[in-house]
Amino acid sequence: MAADEPLDDAPQRRRGRVWGKRLGWALAIVLAPFLLLGAFFASPIGKRFIADQIAAVAPASGLRFEVGRIEGDVFSRAVIYDLVAKDPKGAFLTAPVVTLDWRPLAWLWSGLDVEELIVERARLQRLPELLPGDPDAPLLPDFDIRVGRLVIDDLRVAPGIAGEVEQRAELVAEVDIRSGRALVEAEGRFGPEDRLAFLLDAVPERDRFDLALDYRAAADGPVAALAGLDAAYRARIEGDGTWSRWTGHALVTRTPAPDAEEAARPSRVAAFRITNRAGRYGVLGEVSPEIAEEGILARALGDGAAVALAGTLEESVFDGSLAVVTDALFARGGGVLDLADNAADGFEARLNLRDPGLFGESLRLEDAELAARLTGRFSRLSITHTLTADALDAGVVRLEDLAQSGTASWIDGTFALPLDVTAERVVTGQDLVDPRLVGGTLRGRLTYRDARLDADRLRLDFPGLSAVATLRGNLETGAFALAGPVNAQGVSIPEVGEVSGTAKLLVQFGTATPWSVNANASGRLTQVSNASIANIAGDPLRFRGSASLGAQRPIVLRDVVLESDVLTARFDSRLAGGEVTLTGSGRQAEYGPFEVSAQLAGDALSADILLANPYPAAGLADVRIGIAPAEEGFALEVAGGSLLGPFEGTLGLLLPEEGPTRLDIERLEVYRTTARGTLTFGEAGLAGELALSGGGLDGTVALASIESGATRFDADLTANGARFGGETTIALASAQINASGRFGGGAPTQVEAAISGQGFQYGQLTLARFAANADITDGRGDVTASIAGRRADRFSLKLAGDIAPERIALLARGEYGGRAITMPRRAVLRSLEGGGYALEPTQIGFARGYAILEGRLGGGETVLSAQLARMPLRLADLAGADLGLSGRLSGTLAYEQRGEGAPTAEARLKVDDFARSGLVLSSKP
């Protein structure tokens, strides 16, 4: 049996060999595709395929590579010929030879492993212009990297990129970031003088930490040309210690160019103390203002910036705090920033503005403070914040006690801020507007992208005032524009009334743009509280026009139109250099057409006013008033025409700092009569005396202040052969006029007057004798009068009436040619709401004939109608025409004149027994 045992083991050995073959074939079958693929890539066809695939890669940034050919082992050491790097505009870098010694399969378990990478004789033709890449791409790599030797040999930079001449660069580096070690070592040169030496070697498990940097950039070197620097800079980092305790310092110095005025001695730009305590890093130091010479960065740095940073950086996650302090601001923050995942996890930040003028002269923020919390990926960041400021001063407007809160966002390069702003008060310097600008709110959405600031439908609300605006701004150019409508309702203007209206505004401002405001406005002035404005301008008063103002620009009002039931006016105005000019024209229902031209420089007012027919009842026409500055007041020159003839005069309005206002009438000449005197406007009332002389009229008008601020007047005038030169002749053979009374001071106005005389002529109308007496208190009283014609006429008439503001009643009795003139009842005139009087139907009888009159008088219109029945034509002689007519007139008459329009009349008459002295005619019915 012992001899048979080897025979029993043979089948087992055969079975082992069979399974070994089977496993070998199975492994060969599994590995065969990889081996074949490797063999394919190692073949010329495979290398061409790799080159084509490299050229076909098109990342979002637009960066592409093209390869001429590949030689060597693509899995170990290969040589790449004619490498070309392209951006969307074409080739920007060419490298004839690139040697790559790497281990691509190591990517599966240990990251990027390159033994040697050598780039020879490359040429940079221009700087690349890549498209925005992936916003979520890690700031720090999250895989191992080892580059044993990186060599850039004889890199040539084309002229115009880093200076006017071609530059050359060389670099030798080693990078090893894996297995708990971070090693970066590099040496290089750029141009004739720029030099770089850098070392970072950190191995926490071996308690090793070395950090050193020395970069020298010449004033005329390529780095200075690229950065636009005018001096030489040197940056150094040195230190000593281990991973558990390392202390060093960083220093950046500046050496002026040889031709600069400063001494060629280095000055400090930035200095920092750097520490590492077992992976907790710290940076403490300051930055000099020399880093920026102008702009917002220079204002932010002020006399320098103090910087403090502390925290850890493990697996690309920063956890720590940062603070920056300058003369202009104090910023600090703390929390977690994941630099591999590009995300913030509740990072808290706070900023206090210390310099109100940081954003330029046209925009000031006082005691502003911002508190924010940052959460989310850097590409989709959420910013919960609160912003407060004591005031924001934007040149034309000042906002006080501001507050803004909400959640802003930063999404793919766009910053969006929902506005929820409150302002306790807005100050514009306009006393009429500022009291309403309290308790305001601003709602809307503000966006920022690529230095552009935009907002649509910003809603601003104050009590009785609202606006909807669009904002456009550019932070690079410092230009901003705000446009939209502003609505005001019931804005009260003291001693004037309430304004409601709409204005379309265009506001432009900014650090590089002088502020300006352009507006088109329209609205209404209602509930006019000033009686003078209400009488002259009307209530309500509608207005429209445009305005513009700005820095170093005048305030200009154009095409301003005022309209009401009693006024239509248009004017332009300009305020520049403290001088105001105004020109305009219009029409007022009571005073007629007018033109005005005025200038105001400081306290000196000059004006020319033309009134076409301000008071038709007095025959005033083409009245010109010239106002010119004079010592302690104004000089007035007046001229025009009147019912009594042309007039002209020189007056002085004196406004002394101490003492009452005075009106000196140096000379006021009406035809041949001259008035002179002085009127004083004191706290007790009006006082003074006017003396009239010449032209057959002499006398005085005396004014004196009495109790309660009232003024008493006494007029004593005598006419003797007085004659006036208007279009219609007016003459007085003799007359005595006496009047006295009081007005003002809140007491009732009183007038007592008596006039008597003879030889009155008005055109063709003559009166042999006349007399009248009036006693009126506050618009109410009695009037009696009597008139008589020539003896040959045998005409006399007595009038008696009572007067009230709302009603005038008049009764007449008399005779003409021995026949009675009768009125069965009084003639009554009732005042109308719009001005003027309505004459109720009034009957006048004479010589068995009669006439009934009615209509409207005054208020800008005259409308009369008359019904006649057998009225003697002899009445025409009362006008002084001495026509010698006889006969009787029957029928109707209608007369109408509205405003300045031409009068119209209609007559339907019949004359019976018509005759004239020396002429015999007859008309039978």
pLDDT tens digits, 554-588: 888 899 998 988 889 999 988 887 788 889 999 88
SS3 content of the chain, % helix, strand, coil (to 5): 10, 65, 25
Q: For the segment 610-669, what is each residue's pLDDT rounded down to a tens digit?
A: 988 877 766 778 889 898 888 777 888 999 888 788 999 998 888 787 778 888 988 888
pLDDT recorded at residue 272 = 93
What is the CB neighbour count within 10 angstroms for residue 623? 21
The answer to whether residue 24 scores a pLDDT higher than 60 is no
The residue behind tokens 């104004």 is 634
CA–CA distance, 885 with 921 (Å, rounded to integer): 11
Phi, psi of 708 (to 5 degrees): 60, 25
CB environment 710-740: b (16+ within 10 A), e (fewer): bbbbebebbbeebbbebeeebebbebebebe
pLDDT recorded at residue 52 = 62
pLDDT recorded at residue 570 = 93
Q: For the segment 581-596, what is each residue's pLDDT rounded down to a tens digit?
A: 889 999 887 778 899 8
CA–CA distance, 659 with 275 (Å, rounded to integer): 81
As to burial, measured by CB atoms within 10 angstroms (0-12 exposed, 13-18 middle, 19+ buried), residue 51 is buried
pLDDT recorded at residue 5 = 46
The answer to whether residue 141 scores a pLDDT higher than 90 is no
CA–CA distance, 811 with 809 (Å, rounded to integer): 7
Which residues are within 8 A (CB) of 925 and not within 5 positions of it... i.e. 6 or more apart? 910, 912
- The DSSP call for residue 243 is S
Altogether, the residues listed in the chain come to a count of 925
Q: Residue 480 in contact with residue 471, Cβ under 8 Å?
A: yes
703-to-588, 680, 752 alpha-carbon distances in Å: 31, 9, 15
The angle, 0 to 180 degrees and rounded to 10, between the axes of the packed helices 44-56 and 5-42 is 50
Q: Residue 46 in contact with residue 40, Cβ under 8 Å?
A: yes
Q: Residue 605 in contact with residue 617, Cβ under 8 Å?
A: no
Q: For the segment 888-925, what is each residue's pLDDT rounded down to a tens digit?
A: 888 898 988 876 667 888 888 888 877 766 444 444 44
CB environment 582-591: b (16+ within 10 A), e (fewer): bebebebbeb
pTM given for the model: 0.56
Closest CA to 185 of 174, 196, 193: 174
Q: Tokens in use for 164?
A: 């006017």
CA–CA distance, 747 with 186 (Å, rounded to integer): 103
CA–CA distance, 204 with 283 (Å, rounded to integer): 20
Q: Tokens in use for 241?
A: 């210690």
pLDDT recorded at residue 919 = 47
pLDDT recorded at residue 35 = 43
Q: For the segment 836-872, what is each residue's pLDDT rounded down to a tens digit?
A: 788 899 988 888 888 888 998 776 678 889 898 888 8
Element (H, E) at 39: helix 5-42
3-class state of residue 48 by DSSP: helix
CA–CA distance, 301 with 306 (Å, rounded to integer): 9
pLDDT recorded at residue 137 = 52
CA–CA distance, 667 with 635 (Å, rounded to integer): 12
CA–CA distance, 283 with 510 (Å, rounded to integer): 37
- The DSSP call for residue 790 is -
The answer to whether residue 791 scores a pLDDT higher than 50 is yes
Q: Residue 334 in contact with residue 321, Cβ under 8 Å?
A: yes
What is the CB neighbour count within 10 angstroms for residue 263? 8
Q: Tokens in use for 756?
A: 């008597």
Q: Residue 472 in contact with residue 453, Cβ under 8 Å?
A: yes
pLDDT recorded at residue 617 = 62
Q: Which residue has the higher pLDDT, 400 or 70?
A: 400
The answer to whether residue 143 scores a pLDDT higher than 80 is no
Q: Would you give the end-to-end CA distance of the chain in angstroms?
A: 186
The residue behind tokens 């009125």 is 823
Q: Tokens in use for 4?
A: 């048979």
3-class state of residue 448 by DSSP: strand
For 154, left (φ over 0), alpha (ψ -120 to 50), or beta? left
Averaged over 791-810, what is the pLDDT? Answer: 83
Which residues are within 8 A (CB) of 833 and not within 5 positions of it... i.e. 6 or more apart? none
As to burial, measured by CB atoms within 10 angstroms (0-12 exposed, 13-18 middle, 19+ buried), residue 811 is middle
